[in-house]
Amino acid sequence: MSVASAIKTGDAAELPGKRDEDWRWTDLRGLIRQVPPDSAPAAAVGAGPFDGAAEEIVVIANGEGAAHIGVDPHGDRTVALRIVSRGDGSHAARVSIDVEADGRLTLLESYEGEGSYLSQTGLVFSLGVGAQVERVVLAADDAEGVTVSEAEVQLAAEASFGQTVITGGARRQRLQTTVRHPGGHANLRLDGVYLLADKRHADLTTVVTHEGLDGVTEQLAKGVVRDQARGVFQGRIVVAEGADRTDARMGHHALILSDRAEVDARPELEIYADDVSCAHGNTVGRLDEDALFYARQRGMPDDVARALLTEAFVGEVVERIGHEPARDIAAAWVAERLRGG
Amino acid sequence: MLSVKDLHAEVDGKEILKGLSLEVPAGEVHAIMGPNGAGKSTLSYVLTGRQGYDVTSGKVTFEGEDLLALEPDERAAKGVFLSFQYPLEIPGVPALTFIRTALNAQRKARGEPEVSAPEFLKLARAKAGELKIDFDMLKRALNVGFSGGEKKRMEILQMAMLSPRFLILDETDSGLDIDALRIVADGVNALRSPDRAMLVITHYQRLLDYIRPDRVHVLSAGRIVASGGPELALELEREGYDKYARAAA
Amino acid sequence: MAAVKQTVEHVASLEKYKHGFVTDIDQEFAPKGLNADIVRFISAKKDEPEWMLQWRLEAFERWLALEEPDWAKVSFPRIDYQDSYYYAAPKTKEGPKSLDEVDPDLLETYKKLGIPLKEQEVLAGVQGAPRYAVDAVFDSVSVVTTFKKELAQAGVIFCPMSEAIREHGDLVRRYLGSVVPVSDNYFACLNSAVFSDGSFVYVPPGVRCPMELSTYFRINAENSGQFERTLIIADAGAYVSYLEGCTAPMRDENQLHAAVVELVALDDAEIKYSTVQNWYPGDPETGKGGIYNFVTKRADCRGDRSKVSWTQVETGSSITWKYPSCVLRGNESSGEFYSIAITNGRQQADTGTKMIHLGANTRSRIISKGISAGKSSNTYRGLVSAHPKARGARNFTQCDSLLIGKHCAAHTVPYIEARNGQAVFEHEATTTRLSEDQLFYAMQRGLSQEEAVQLLVNGFVKDVLQELPMEFAVEAQKLVAISLEGSVG
Ligand SMILES: Nc1ncnc2c1ncn2[C@@H]1O[C@H](COP(=O)(O)OP(=O)(O)OP(=O)(O)O)[C@@H](O)[C@H]1O
Ligand SMILES: [Mg+2]
């Protein structure tokens, strides 16, 4: 049972729903009675958000397009991957990304949607020893769209994978990353930002399994929700038996700016090894009243002070993006969302 | 300039200020001294409008206008500045961004044009230089990871850049080394002028050696129990608060 | 250091599971298995009114339609519900009217139990013994309740559930099942059909219960399930503190314990409920035997400014599945959950709490300390939710796990649902092992390894221990020590 197979078979019963523990807050089964027909090929797709920051642009429109991105040993590529949805149909795509030993890849991934589509994208990342990947995702879906993105990442020793997912949500949206972490001083960063207004929904789900000695995972996710929006964060860190000296840290912090918005979180630790140091912190609430007073004492009106502090709250995640042009694009996108809301 | 009459205020339902009266004319510097827990910081928060500090009776006017009716930022725009006893850390906001946002908000409220970015940077560089603050520190998130003394200096930098008209310094001297104390005092003295006034809360005569007060008040158990000239501070330094604590009780 | 030394001495003097003896007294059983007739039999044995029988039968019908849950992180062979006794009672003619009428063998049992030490003295009426009232439940039946008269003077009702059903029928009818509905979950539903006894407490408006109330549960008979039902009502402005202790003999067969506890706190009322659970944990090597502890505990903070606090020290049972919860319905009501859960050998525990914020300005606080050793598995599972009307709701959760050994597991599964912008939730969790540095430091100062572990573990659980009433805190500290014996080295 999966979204991909539901799209393939057209059988809505294949969709996950709230009875599935990992989908309890992102119920697709109850939302979609009938899987929309297959999407027609998309017409012109226009420009993407990362066009200026990448050397190459790969477009997958309504499920059609290149399916493989490779980096040779010691190679270095910066690729913008545009996943475009147009219209009211359903479509799925699979992309495999192989970065060989000591190769470097900056993947600037965007979800660009218009319409009330159902879209699923499966990405399979495979990293060689010492490979370095930075993945920056900007998800700008339609308020009527339903999007599921499922990435599977296989790390190797000494590899590093840094990810920042930034989303404005959709009618329903799940951005999921599953990482198999072999330890061996491989480094993992899994960051996320969701900025939701109106009735939008976004679900950031991550599962990291530490399978060997000396693994590091660092995770920081932040969300700002207003109106009747709903943000979901599910982060699970598994440390298998024998994966000693694992160091895993997870933080999720959300601000709810209206009376009817909602944030659901499940930060989970599943530990089968004893020599570990794992921690998670989770806060949901309002802006810090003391900081707000401090800013107002210096002369900022309430709305100015709130905007400044909210931007700073999210800025802590955006600042961790390593690729500078991508960071600037992400920061501008975030600022616009926050001010527009 | 500032006039406080029979002010009663409570925090969490507990009365802290119990009929406090105080007059600070323009051009004067008044010091407030008093034992721990007397209500000095409470007074500074009531004057600046912090939430949770509820005025139950009494009056505060600033240049004839009812100060208590104004929002915190409106008071700031009128020129009321508080140097916090415990300055807050503002993660994610570079000090420069914070100060520029505050400055422009105040100017806007007063109907003045915004300062341009180059103009602002020039000003910031100059003031940082005067206060011996490393300019790079202004690019870091405000007060995050700053030492106690650095935070206090950052308060004075903000004060210098916002050039307020009524200054409240709540124990700005505590945590400062001798050099920093002098620098801070110079910064404060630079703002002394006939149309400004100051309320300096402190536990130590030392600061008052640098910032000569016109009047000294003793705040004990929520009220001003004694007032006098600069010599009162010296007497307190010698004899402590014993006799005033008894007077208040 | 005096406290540490004392603990260490105590530990040395205690064997592994000292409660594993069987009392040889005549027992009366209902036939094995479960059907409507057994339910009727239990009800008839208790001389229950017709409404109670109907309530049970209805629960039984519903239970047949439910399925055993499987979401907890525990695994065990399927339970054969037909291979168990649902009613076992020590044979006596009538309920004992005074201590003299209680079977001496039974009193001997309590003497042997030792934990809680003081209750034996209380039962025996020793002069100068701490004054707290005890209701002792032996298998399914309440044997004796002490201090009844004195409590009655204060207007407090403290009696076996069976007696309450007969004598305070209107109160029981009004509140029973009002916190944990009959078909709330599989085990609660089973309990509703077959519960045999338990304690009932009612504290009238404005009364501060003059002493601690305590129930002492023991499973004795082989192959018998124990299904107690506890109902505590604190009327407006009332206060009561209630303690619950549990032991069971060693057996090769697993025994089922499926209790239901319901607490109701009206306006300004406060209930403090403490548990020290030390059921037989099963064989540490094979995991054989031990109690299946599937318990539903829930408090309804129905009144404004009401307060319920759960404190538990869970060291026993082969499987624990239990989430003492608070429904914070009244405005400004508050709920607390303090827990120490220790697993060793082959034990599995899946425990935590739910704090459901419904009223405005409700507060909750969760402090959970899990320790896993041996080949055990220890899961904290919790839910904190704020509904749209729960403006100003606040929660603080601190959830720490300590691992001792290479083959144990610790999991943390918090669910957090915030449905309004005025709620503030904070949650922190850590999983670490015992610090080598601290161990070394303590050993350098002359403590043995066991003693050093003791010391550090005591520090780890201190925040929870101090929530227990004094008498229990000392016992609990010893229990913590015993449970971890042999886990290091
Ligand atoms: N939230 C609060 N609830 C109850 N009492 C409070 C609260 N905040 C402050 N107080 C009390 O108010 C009194 C005055 O505090 P305040 O901070 O104004 O003292 P202070 O004169 O500035 O002392 P110090 O010299 O130590 O800075 C103290 O007794 C303090 O404990
Ligand atoms: Mg103070």
| Same domain flag for A130 and A258 | yes
pLDDT band, very low/low/confident/very high, at C91 (cuts 50, 70, 90): low
Whether C2 shows a pLDDT value over 50: the answer reads: no
Which residues lie below 8 Å from residue B179, measured CB to CB, with a gap of 6+? B132
Residue A261: inside a domain, yes or no? yes
Instruction: Determine the pLDDT at residue A199.
Output: 96
C248 φ/ψ angles, rounded to the nearest 5 degrees: -155, 155
Residue A302: inside a domain, yes or no? no
Choose among A80, A154, A149, A85: nearest CA to A113: A85
Q: Do A312 and B103 touch (CB under 8 A)?
A: no
A144 φ/ψ angles, rounded to the nearest 5 degrees: -100, -5
Instruction: Determine the pLDDT at residue B30.
Output: 95
Q: What percent of chain C has pLDDT over 70?
A: 76
A92-143: pLDDT as tens digits: 999 999 999 999 999 999 999 999 999 999 999 999 999 999 999 999 999 9
10 Å CB burial of residue C122 (0-12, 13-18, 19+) is buried
Whether C98 shows a pLDDT value over 70: the answer reads: no
Residue located nearest, by CA, to atom 8 of ligand 1: B11
Q: Where are the beta strands (DSSP E) in A128-184?
A: 132-140, 146-154, 160-167, 172-181
Q: Say which residue the tokens 């939430």 belong to.
A: B51
| Same domain flag for A25 and A91 | no
Average the pLDDT over C249-256 and give the result: 62
Average the pLDDT over C209-238 and give the result: 79
pLDDT band, very low/low/confident/very high, at C116 (cuts 50, 70, 90): very low
Residue A319: inside a domain, yes or no? no
| Same domain flag for A16 and A82 | no
- Ligand 2 centroid to residue A305 C-alpha, Å: 25
Return d(Cα A72, Cα A75) in angstroms, integer.
Answer: 5
Q: Say which residue the tokens 């907890």 belong to.
A: C72
| Same domain flag for A175 and A93 | yes
Residue C223 in contact with residue C85, Cβ under 8 Å?
yes
From the alpha carbon of B171, which atom of ligand 1 is closest? 27
| Same domain flag for A45 and A24 | no
Shortest Cα–Cα distance, A219 to chain B (Å): 17
Instruction: Determine the pLDDT at residue C3.
Output: 33
Q: Do B51 and A293 touch (CB under 8 A)?
A: yes
Q: Say which residue the tokens 């130590």 belong to.
A: B204
Q: Say which residue the tokens 């100059």 belong to.
A: B126
Chains in contact with A, counting 3 or more C-beta pairs less than 8 Å apart as contact: B, C
Q: Do C420 and A21 touch (CB under 8 A)?
A: no
B179-223: pLDDT as tens digits: 888 888 988 898 999 999 999 999 888 888 889 999 999 999 999
Of A289, A298, A309, the CB nearest to B102: A298
Ranges in chain B, pLDDT < 70: 245-249
For a ligand 1 pocket test, name from B12, B16, B83, B219 the mutation site with the most ligand atoms within 8 angstroms of its C-beta: B16
B164 φ/ψ angles, rounded to the nearest 5 degrees: -70, 170
pLDDT band, very low/low/confident/very high, at C4 (cuts 50, 70, 90): very low
Return d(Cα A304, Cα A310) in angstroms, integer.
Answer: 10
- Ligand 1 centroid to residue B37 C-alpha, Å: 5
| Same domain flag for A1 and A105 | no
Choose among A90, A69, A65, A68: nearest CA to A78: A69
In three-state secondary structure terms, C195 is coil
- Residue A241 at interface with chain C, using a CB cutoff of 8 Å: yes
Whether A42 shows a pLDDT value over 90: the answer reads: no
A277-323: pLDDT as tens digits: 999 999 999 998 999 999 999 999 999 999 999 999 999 999 999 99
Return d(Cα A318, Cα A338) in angstroms, integer.
Answer: 13
Structural domain range at position A20: 1-35
Which ligand lies nearest to the CA atom of residue B32 in the structure? 1
Choose among A110, A108, A165, A112: nearest CA to A133: A108
Return d(Cα C132, Cα A41) in angstroms, integer.
Answer: 79
Return d(Cα B127, Cα B131) in angstroms, integer.
Answer: 6
| Same domain flag for A30 and A59 | no
Instruction: Determine the pLDDT at residue A61.
Output: 95
More confident residue, A341 or C360: C360
Average the pLDDT over C193-206 and give the result: 90
Instruction: Determine the pLDDT at residue C122.
Output: 45
Average the pLDDT over C286-298 and give the result: 84
Q: Tell me, what DSSP letter sits at residue C487?
A: -
Pocket flag, ligand 1, residue B14 (CB < 6 Å):
yes
Residue A313: inside a domain, yes or no? no
Residue located nearest, by CA, to atom 17 of ligand 1: B41
From the alpha carbon of B12, which atom of ligand 1 is closest? 3
Residue A54: inside a domain, yes or no? yes
Residue A279: inside a domain, yes or no? yes
Q: Tell me, what DSSP letter sits at residue A62?
A: T
| Same domain flag for A49 and A28 | no
Return d(Cα C298, Cα C139) in angstroms, integer.
Answer: 22
Which residues lie below 8 Å from residue B164, measured CB to CB, with a gap of 6+? B76, B79, B80, B81, B191, B196
Pocket flag, ligand 1, residue B169 (CB < 6 Å):
no
Q: Do A264 and C388 touch (CB under 8 A)?
A: no
| ipTM reported for the complex, 2 dp | 0.89
- Residue B179 at interface with chain A, using a CB cutoff of 8 Å: no
Nearest 5 degrees, angle CA A224-CA A230-CA A234?
A: 85
The three state secondary structure string of A297-336 is HCCCCHHHHHHHHHHHHHHHHHCCCCCHHHHHHHHHHHHH
- Residue A259 at interface with chain C, using a CB cutoff of 8 Å: yes
AA identity, residue C293:
N
**C-alpha distances in angstroms, C124 versus C128, C150, C222, C469?**
11, 16, 27, 22
Look up residue A199 and give its two tokens. 């009735």
Of C408, C414, C418, the CB nearest to A263: C418
Of A241, A275, A286, the CB nearest to C421: A286
Look up residue B157 and give its two tokens. 């930098």
- Residue A312 at interface with chain B, using a CB cutoff of 8 Å: yes
| Same domain flag for A175 and A270 | yes
| Same domain flag for A276 and A244 | yes
Residue C404 with chain A: CB contacts under 8 Å: 274
Whether C425 shows a pLDDT value over 90: the answer reads: yes
10 Å CB burial of residue B206 (0-12, 13-18, 19+) is middle
Whether C120 shows a pLDDT value over 90: the answer reads: no
- Ligand 1 centroid to residue B39 C-alpha, Å: 6
More confident residue, C271 or C125: C271
Overall number of domains in chain A: 2
Whether C137 shows a pLDDT value over 80: the answer reads: no
Residue A49: inside a domain, yes or no? yes
Of C388, C418, C429, the CB nearest to A269: C429
Return d(Cα A23, Cα A122) in angstroms, integer.
Answer: 17
- Residue A292 at interface with chain C, using a CB cutoff of 8 Å: no
Residue A61: inside a domain, yes or no? yes
How many alpha carbons fall within 13 Å on the CB side of residue B182?
3
Which ligand lies nearest to the CA atom of residue B38 in the structure? 1
Pocket flag, ligand 1, residue B143 (CB < 6 Å):
no
pTM of the model: 0.85
Residue B54 in contact with residue B9, Cβ under 8 Å?
yes
- The strand pair at C199-203 and C157-160 is best described as antiparallel
Residue C333 in contact with residue C305, Cβ under 8 Å?
yes
Residue B88 with chain A: CB contacts under 8 Å: 290-291, 294
- Residue A309 at interface with chain B, using a CB cutoff of 8 Å: yes
Residue A293 with chain B: CB contacts under 8 Å: 50-51, 72
Pocket flag, ligand 1, residue B42 (CB < 6 Å):
yes
Which ligand lies nearest to the CA atom of residue B51 in the structure? 1
| Same domain flag for A6 and A124 | no
| Same domain flag for A4 and A87 | no
Pocket flag, ligand 1, residue B223 (CB < 6 Å):
no
Instruction: Determine the pLDDT at residue C7.
Output: 34
Of C71, C411, C420, the CB nearest to A270: C411
- Ligand 1 centroid to residue B153 C-alpha, Å: 24
Nearest 5 degrees, angle CA B81-CA B86-CA B92?
A: 85
Instruction: Determine the pLDDT at residue C467.
Output: 84
pLDDT band, very low/low/confident/very high, at C90 (cuts 50, 70, 90): low
Look up residue C386 and give its two tokens. 């704020």
Pocket flag, ligand 1, residue B240 (CB < 6 Å):
no
A145-203: pLDDT as tens digits: 999 999 999 999 999 999 999 999 999 999 999 999 998 899 999 999 999 999 999 99
Q: End of a domain among A252, A267, A289?
A: A289
Look up residue C37 and give its two tokens. 């007739």
Of A265, A273, A277, the CB nearest to C416: A265
Instruction: Determine the pLDDT at residue C128.
Output: 43
Return d(Cα C334, Cα C265) in angstroms, integer.
Answer: 11
Per DSSP, the residues of C295-355 read EEEEEEE-STT-EEEEEEEE---SEEEE--EEEE-STT-EEEEEEEEEE-TT-EEEE--EE
Residue A285 with chain C: CB contacts under 8 Å: 418, 423-426
Per DSSP, the residues of A22-54 read GGTTS-STTT-SSPPPBPPPP------TTGGG-
pLDDT band, very low/low/confident/very high, at C8 (cuts 50, 70, 90): very low
Return d(Cα B147, Cα A202) in angstroms, integer.
Answer: 40
